[in-house]
A and B are shown apart, each in its own frame.
Chain A
Amino acid sequence: MKNKIQDMDKLISEMNNAVEGLREKAVDNQSIIRNLDRISANINLLKIGVSDVTDLI
């Protein structure tokens, strides 16, 4: 289980990096930026549900 959670945490981190990379490319495209904002909010909820416990197990 520990490995599984660590793997999920790593993938969440990669998702976050991908979103930030996209944000840089989007410049001032509001459609892309606002969609990324919503994705970021959900990535943060994934962190709450997974990443926050990674170092506790």
Chain B
Amino acid sequence: MKGFMTMTKNNNIYWNPILETLPQEKIKELQLKKFKRIVEWGYNNSPFYKRHYKAAGFEPGDIKTFDDIKKVPKIEKGMLRDVQQNDPFPYGDMLAVPREKISVFRQTSGTTGTPVYQGDTWQDWEWWAESWCYIMYAQGYRDTDRVFIPFGYNIFVAFWAMHYGSEKLGCETIPGGVLDTDARILKLKELKCTGMGATPTYILGMADRAHKLGIDPAKDLNIQRITVAGEPGGSVPNTKKRMQDLWGCKVYDHIGATEIGAWSYECTEQPGALHINEALFLVEIEDIDTGEIITEPGKRGKMIITALDRIGKPCIRFDSKDVIEWSAKDCDCGRTYRMIEGGVVGRSDDITKVKGVLLAPTAIEEAVRSIPELGYEYEVVVTKNGDLDDIALKIEIKEGKESQQEQILANLKDQLRVKTNLGYKISVHPYGSLPRYDVKAKRFKDLRKH
């Protein structure tokens, strides 16, 4: 039987070998036990959850088996926004602990609407750091690493938890806070940093800027591994390849969210799929059309997730709108945690029909980033022209490659047709003129809805 430390290649590759190699049937037992515990906790301590469950006629005692989990009423972001409009300020009545037990405030980035406020107890914050230790350890970070965090250190969670996870793991951790990009690059060089975490967009932008400063990140810096998060790029093969080529190191993906936690990570095997930290999180995949729970690989659905140990503001069966699918692979790293294929492939509210064809914005990213002569930025705008949809794609051609424009555009059109089955109105813009983003890029604009 694979698992429970019987198949480990090396005990040093796991942050917690007890949990990460637990046989899958034991993981399910653990998840059921913890799920019952957090539901009971939410019901007994959070007025929001009690009201939500009572309205649906649900009682915690109704959960007897793993199959009963799907009976528990879901929550979604709109509810979190609504509840925080009510007293007590600022979380409404969602907390499951007295307000004085909250020691950390963060909020969501607001990409999809009004930010959601997130209060965490000190234990929750330690749990965030612990969750990141699983990620970083699986990606090869050790206490010998010097880790640079080029992040604005503000009210968004973003890379705060990586900072504390890195400290906990024992890495020498450098907060690259208010430094501008040039200063960050020079600091990376001066301190011979070995690891870093940022969004894919920023990693690409930093490399671009470094070249302008006469620094080749792949040759002149000492970065050995990068963790990306906040956008899908770390699991978009051509974006990942571009980042790895530019920096001369492995780039690993991680997925997390303010209201959920750090729930998924790629390991050093880079199997094209991400592990779910199943000892700390319960992930369900729900068919978008039928609402049935998908248990087999190969079919996409939206993620319903529970943070099994987050106590201050519990996250129980949260409909994240992230579209994922189970992977059929077993990872060579020996972790028994299940994986999702290709990371988050989109959001159920982003995947949209254009000209009658289902379009995931990540497919456009994959096409654009497959053309090496194109700059890393692009923008897509979908509009309505009478009854017809139009898709405009704005791109940049790298400096010095402008003379090849005709061939580059032909290659791009081929890639777009193959990957999205759609035609685009493509316009070429001067290199560096499209918007640059430090945190979450907004490259896909569907103006038909407004």
Contact = CB atoms under 8 A, between A and B. Distances in A.
B18 A53 contact: yes
A48 B280 contact: yes
B18 A50 contact: yes
A42 B126 contact: yes
Contacts of B18: 5, 49-50, 53
Contacts of A11: none
Given A37-B122, A42-B126, A44-B123, A49 B30 contact: no
A18 interface: no
A37 B123 CA distance: 9
Contact of A38 (B26, B33, B122, B130): B122
A40 B127 CA distance: 12
Given A1-B5, A56-B29, A56-B30, A49 B16 contact: yes
B26 A56 contact: yes
Nearest to A41: B123
Contacts of B19: 49, 53
B48 to A, nearest CB: 23
B16 A52 contact: no
A56 B127 CA distance: 22
B122 A41 contact: yes
B309 A53 contact: no
A38 B124 CA distance: 11
Interface string B239-283: 000000000000000000000000000000000000000011000
Interface residues of A, number: 16
A45 B126 contact: yes
Contacts of B4: 1, 57
A26 to B, nearest CB: 17
Contacts of A40: 123
Contact of B26 (A1, A41, A53): A53
Interface in B1-15: 4-5
Contact of B30 (A5, A41, A45, A52): A52
A45 B123 contact: yes
Nearest to B29: A56
A42 B34 CA distance: 18
B22 interface: yes
Nearest to A48: B309
A57 B33 CA distance: 14
B26 A57 contact: yes
Contacts of A1: 4-5
Contacts of A53: 18-19, 22, 26, 30
Interface string A17-55: 000000000000000000001101110110011101100
Given A48-B130, A48-B279, A57-B26, 8 more contacts: A1-B5, A37-B122, A41-B123, A44-B123, A45-B127, A52-B279, A53-B26, A53-B30
30 contacts: A1-B4, A5-B18, A37-B122, A38-B122, A40-B123, A41-B122, A41-B126, A42-B126, A45-B123, A48-B127, A48-B130, A48-B279, A48-B280, A48-B309, A49-B18, A49-B130, A50-B18, A52-B30, A52-B33, A52-B279, A53-B18, A53-B19, A53-B26, A53-B30, A56-B22, A56-B26, A56-B29, A56-B30, A56-B33, A57-B26
Name the 9 nearest CB pairs between A and B, nearest first.
Answer: A41-B123, A41-B126, A41-B122, A56-B26, A56-B29, A49-B16, A48-B309, A45-B130, A44-B123
